[in-house]
Structure 1
Amino acid sequence: MKRREIMKQLGVLPLAGSFLASDSIFGSPFSGSMPTFGPGLADGSIFDGLGVVPIINCRGTFTILGGSTERPEVIQAMEAASGYFVQYDELAYGIGKRLAQITKAEWGIISSGCAAGMKLVTAACVTGGNPEKLIRIPNLEGLEKTEVIIPRSSRNVYDHAIRNIGVTVITVETPEELERAIGPRTAMIYIMTNRDNETGRPLSLENISKIAKPKNVPVLVDAAAEDLTIPCVHLERGATVVAYSGGKAICGPQCAGLLLGDKDILMAAWQASSPHHGPGRDNKVGKEEMLGMLAAVEAWTTRDHKAEWDTWLSWLDEISSKVTKVKGVTTEVTEPKGLNNRTPRLSIKWDPDNLHVTGEEIAETVARSKPRIAIGARTNEDGTSINITPSQMRPGNAKVVADRLHGLLSQKRAPRSDEMKPAKADLSGSWDVEMEFFTSKGDHRFYLEQDGNWIKGTHQSDFSTQEIAGMIEGDEIKLRSNYRIPGDSINYWFSGKVKGDALSGSVFLGEYLTAKFTAKRTAYKQGNKRIVVPGGPPLAT
């Protein structure tokens, strides 16, 4: 996935974080000879044979887009590591010493991603490095440390990595609840960096550490998308271990993570990691990723971060200068000061009633047609906008993005019509819904009320009941509901047609892909008959 011929084309190709441009903001191109990978690589069309169209990444370091672009030093280190054999414990120890020197932390290890690192640290805190306990995971029966405390504001989709060990999660909302929750079964406390754990807040990292340390409870901080600070600001504020993603700001391998902090806990985490057999064997990290991640950390200390920032701003200025030529379009650049996802952002705004198009419609258009571009969008009472994050754009992308957005925003469109086709059916009532997933089926239920074209009601899914709302035009229906649990949510987008007393169509599940559904009106078994309520207790049973 590399080298000269591909790099030459990246200034114009809409690639998102998979390759390096020839004149990258990260420095000069890598100058080795290009290996042979078969047809398609040398002319930059390695994805064509798979029917995959690359994307200009104006969203940032999202894993689903490929994370971040690996630095030239990372690619060099990974290639230098391939073709050799080493003893992995020796390699991990050598890397641990080097990471300690670079970052000023007590120790460091490389995991197969930030979430994998969180899983390994949890295992370490549960087992204390005892392999007999380790190989019992996720069966924690008989183990002393089986609980992890998480502030409610830190519950998120990534705490699956912690729950994978089999622990019980205790959710708290105040320092007093935290104090009461800590007990002999507490393995650790986990927080994801956010506003609620900033200095001065009730559950700041400092306050959490002040409560946890006297009781010897480790504190794991998830700083996945943050800039690396040396020395690590979170360790200085009281964290025991801090976890970073390799494929975000640090620009290391996408399938690598960085753990910094207490040496004993990190050695126990390494014990739980592949190549050792146990709960972390499925989170294998290769010597190539390990040395690539180390190279990324080394490079972090020598990168010209100001020059990178200035380059990002110049790309946003190029886009802004072009799109503001469209009457009614304004732009604004924000420069966040925090460590998390630290990059300038361009907001392009307009009145959707004037241009007759919303930000979401523009975002959908550029996402689904060439040249493909990933951008953010939103519409609220202040108008509509699209948002550009430049940190993973490549040289030449800004012109492509500017021209594409200018062309779309300057199109003449007819005013929107609020007229809707009359509904061909009344969906009010109860519906038995059969969901068809990849290899299983589920029984759901709708309870719907209809007012003209608009529908509302409840959606009873497998484990919950939530509100559902939508519309019907002619015989076409669209419904949406949202299933939520702490840290997770699933959106159901139903689209299909009504025919008599039956509905059928597809269910878009967001990141969980697509299912099918069929629905029939509920057939009640009881007929209509008078009900007589007894006047008192029964005289017989």
Structure 2
Amino acid sequence: MGIFKQLGLREIINASGKMTALGASAVTDEIAQALKDAAQDYVDIDELMEFTGKVISESTGAEDGCPTCGAAAGIAISTAAVITGKNLSLIERIPNTAGLRNEIIVQKGQLVHFGASIGQMIQIGGGHVVEVGQANKVEQEHMEQAITENTAALLYVKSHHAVQKGMQSIEAMMEVAQRNGLPFIIDAAAEEDFQKYIAMGADIVIYSGGKALEGPTSGLICGKKEWMEACRMQYKGVGRPMKVGKEAMAGLITALRQYPLRTSNGEQQIARMTHLCNRLEAIAGLTCSIKQDEAGREIYRAQIQVNEQRAGISAEKLLHLLEAGNPAIYLRHHYVNVGILSVDPRPLLEGQEDIIADEIIRIVKGG
């Protein structure tokens, strides 16, 4: 019996994805052991921070790294770092940055809500958000014309939450930053390639440790050494209330070392979701197909279209009933307003796709 069931909480079947609201990832035995061992021992935290930074560097190809308690903290810490550098007096002023170069340029379509606001994370780090362009169209001139003597950095948000069309590319935004001598930050929280953006030339890249990496609740920043040293120094200021513990760092190190050993499971995802679709296609009002992740990652989800008239139930009602059950089944519901629900195979334990199919069929048939 799982720990949460022992505590009297409902069992969860997570078909939504590596979602913070559902605990992100279920870690391997090796990572769990690292968490346990770290929790039962002592270490000099500053030494562990620097060592974790070296492991991050080795894993990403960056000059250095900084562990965090999550990618959201990474945004705040990175923002603070580009404003204060390693100046302790300025670090202790954050988030009060009046009179400092504190403007962070972000494309309007990327100022999204991921469970909280990107803009708020920037502000926590002392940044003043400068949004450029329109929600569905940004020109290079918008970025150029937004740069002033108060600009501290340009930030690109690589996320399925962000507008995917009409935005300037990473390369275009990076070129503007480099031409103007400004640091370029990429929020790549859920991305799977931990070397791509450093290789492209980004100064600072932020990842979640609990999503694609499948580590514990944690995050990592990687990039140029001067900025990583400044990031670590933020733990003397704004980083203190979001400090990362010894357990998370030990688990993060283990996850980073395991990551290159993982093999692609795209074919397995497709096979599992095809099996699910074949079962659901037999039910009136349900159509099901396999769709690759909209941000281009190697994720193949089952997309369920609910025809309310034929099925006798709306997608929204079906979602509610699935989540209200025990076990509670959480599907991906970004497009529930147009009758679409999705099943993400990555977090599913063995055989859970059949449990999902059984419950959907029971609900639709009025069982």
Would the aligned equivalents of 1:145 and 1:185 in 2 still touch at CA under 8 Å?
yes
Tell me which of 206, 210, 221 is aligned to 1:259: 221
Q: Name 1:240's counterpart in structure 2.
A: 203
Would the aligned equivalents of 2:56 and 2:220 in 1 still touch at CA under 8 Å?
no
Would the aligned equivalents of 1:110 and 1:257 in 2 still touch at CA under 8 Å?
yes
**Does residue 1:158 correspond to 2:118, yes or no?**
yes
Would the aligned equivalents of 1:152 and 1:172 in 2 still touch at CA under 8 Å?
yes
Tell me which of 19, 33, 50 is aligned to 1:62: 19
Tell me which of 87, 91, 102 is aligned to 1:134: 91
Of Structure 1 and Structure 2, which has the larger fraction of its residues in helix? Answer: 2
1:300-319 aligned within 5 A: 300-306=259-265, 309-319=266-276
1:169–1:374 CA distance, 2 compared to 1 (3 A): same
1:98 deviation in Å? 2.3
Q: Distance in 2 between matches of 1:347 and 1:177?
A: 36
Q: Name 2:256's counterpart in structure 1.
A: 297
Q: Distance in 2 between matches of 1:408 and 1:188?
A: 51
1:316 deviation in Å? 1.7
Would the aligned equivalents of 2:312 and 2:364 in 1 still touch at CA under 8 Å?
no
Q: Distance in 2 between matches of 1:186 and 1:297?
A: 33
Secondary structure class of the residue paired with 2:241: coil
**Does residue 1:286 correspond to 2:248, yes or no?**
no
Q: Distance in 2 between matches of 1:55 and 1:197?
A: 30
Q: Name 1:86's counterpart in structure 2.
A: 43
Would the aligned equivalents of 1:358 and 1:385 in 2 still touch at CA under 8 Å?
no
Q: Name 2:81's counterpart in structure 1.
A: 124
Tell me which of 279, 284, 287 is aligned to 1:330: 287
1:125 deviation in Å? 0.6
Q: Distance in 2 between matches of 1:351 and 1:53?
A: 30
Q: Distance in 1 between matches of 2:245 and 2:296?
A: 28
Q: Name 2:313's counterpart in structure 1.
A: 357
Q: Name 1:19's counterpart in structure 2.
A: none
Moved more, 145-154 or 175-184: 175-184
Measured against aligned partners, the alpha-carbon deviations of 1:429-473 in whole angstroms (never above 9, x if no partner) come to xxxxxxxxxxxxxxxxxxxxxxxxxxxxxxxxxxxxxxxxxxxxx
Measured against aligned partners, the alpha-carbon deviations of 1:250-274 in whole angstroms (never above 9, x if no partner) come to 11112x101111111011100102x
Secondary structure class of the residue paired with 2:41: coil
Would the aligned equivalents of 1:191 and 1:222 in 2 still touch at CA under 8 Å?
yes
1:122 deviation in Å? 0.8
1:325–1:313 CA distance, 2 compared to 1 (3 A): same
Task: List gaps (5 residues or longer) in structure 2.
Answer: 134-138
Of Structure 1 and Structure 2, which has the larger fraction of its residues in strand? Answer: 1
Q: Distance in 2 between matches of 1:327 and 1:393?
A: 25
Tell me which of 337, 341, 347 is aligned to 2:303: 347
Tell me which of 137, 159, 169 is aligned to 2:129: 169
Q: TM-score, normalised by structure 1?
A: 0.62
Q: Which amino acid aligns with 1:237?
A: M
Would the aligned equivalents of 2:273 and 2:302 in 1 still touch at CA under 8 Å?
yes
Bigger Rg, which one: 1
Would the aligned equivalents of 2:10 and 2:328 in 1 still touch at CA under 8 Å?
yes
**Does residue 1:272 correspond to 2:234, yes or no?**
yes
Tell me which of 338, 348, 357 is aligned to 1:393: 348
**Does residue 1:372 correspond to 2:334, yes or no?**
no
Q: Which amino acid aligns with 1:399?
A: D
**Does residue 1:218 correspond to 2:183, yes or no?**
yes
Moved over 6 A (4+): 195-198
Measured against aligned partners, the alpha-carbon deviations of 1:395-446 in whole angstroms (never above 9, x if no partner) come to 131221111112122338xxxxxxxxxxxxxxxxxxxxxxxxxxxxxxxxxx
Identity of aligned residues (%): 28
Q: Which amino acid aligns with 2:324?
A: R
Q: Which amino acid aligns with 1:112?
A: C
1:338 deviation in Å? 4.2
Would the aligned equivalents of 1:205 and 1:237 in 2 still touch at CA under 8 Å?
no
Q: Name 1:76's counterpart in structure 2.
A: 33
1:372–1:207 CA distance, 2 compared to 1 (3 A): same
1:169–1:351 CA distance, 2 compared to 1 (3 A): closer
1:345 deviation in Å? 1.0
Secondary structure class of the residue paired with 1:213: helix
Would the aligned equivalents of 2:5 and 2:11 in 1 still touch at CA under 8 Å?
no
Tell me which of 359, 364, 367 is aligned to 1:409: 364
Q: Which amino acid aligns with 1:354?
A: R
Q: Distance in 2 between matches of 1:76 and 1:184?
A: 49
1:327–1:111 CA distance, 2 compared to 1 (3 A): same
Secondary structure class of the residue paired with 2:46: helix
1:349 deviation in Å? 2.7
Q: Distance in 2 between matches of 1:84 and 1:372?
A: 36
Would the aligned equivalents of 1:334 and 1:345 in 2 still touch at CA under 8 Å?
yes
Task: List gaps (5 residues or longer) in structure 1.
Answer: 7-40, 413-541
Q: Distance in 1 between matches of 2:306 and 2:222?
A: 45
Secondary structure class of the residue paired with 2:144: helix
Equivalenced residues, count: 356
Secondary structure class of the residue paired with 2:316: helix
Q: Name 1:203's counterpart in structure 2.
A: 168
Q: Distance in 2 between matches of 1:213 and 1:124?
A: 18
Q: Which amino acid aligns with 1:266?
A: M
